[in-house]
């Protein structure tokens, strides 16, 4: 068996990038439904405190919104 035949058999309708996006979107929807969870707070970046020096870090949610545009 070749790699290509295995990939076609497993998921013929999605590319690897498409599959990763689908799973990421499903997980983000799962986290958004939860209330008062640490994961949701960290994903949305809603924690207090002082601003860090230097360049802003890319948040997980930024990657999802970039893919949606």
- Which residues lie closer than 8 Å to 24 by C-beta, 6 or more apart? 63, 64, 67
CA distances from 13 to 2, 4, 20, 33 (A): 18, 13, 13, 28
0.75 exceeded by the pTM?
Answer: no
Whether the pLDDT of residue 26 is over 80: the answer is yes
Q: Which residue has the tokens 């960290």?
A: 42
pLDDT of residue 7: 66
Whether the pLDDT of residue 35 is over 70: the answer is yes
pLDDT of residue 13: 66
Higher pLDDT, 2 or 35: 35
Summarize the chain as % helix, strand, coil (round to 5): 60, 0, 40
């Amino acid at each position: 068996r070749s790699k290509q035949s295995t990939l076609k058999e497993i998921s013929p309708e999605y590319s690897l990038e498409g599959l990763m996006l689908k799973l990421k979107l499903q997980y983000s929807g799962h986290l958004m439904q939860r209330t008062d969870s640490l994961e949701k707070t960290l994903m949305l970046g809603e924690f207090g405190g002082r601003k860090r020096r230097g360049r802003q870090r890319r948040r997980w949610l930024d990657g999802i919104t970039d893919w949606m545009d």
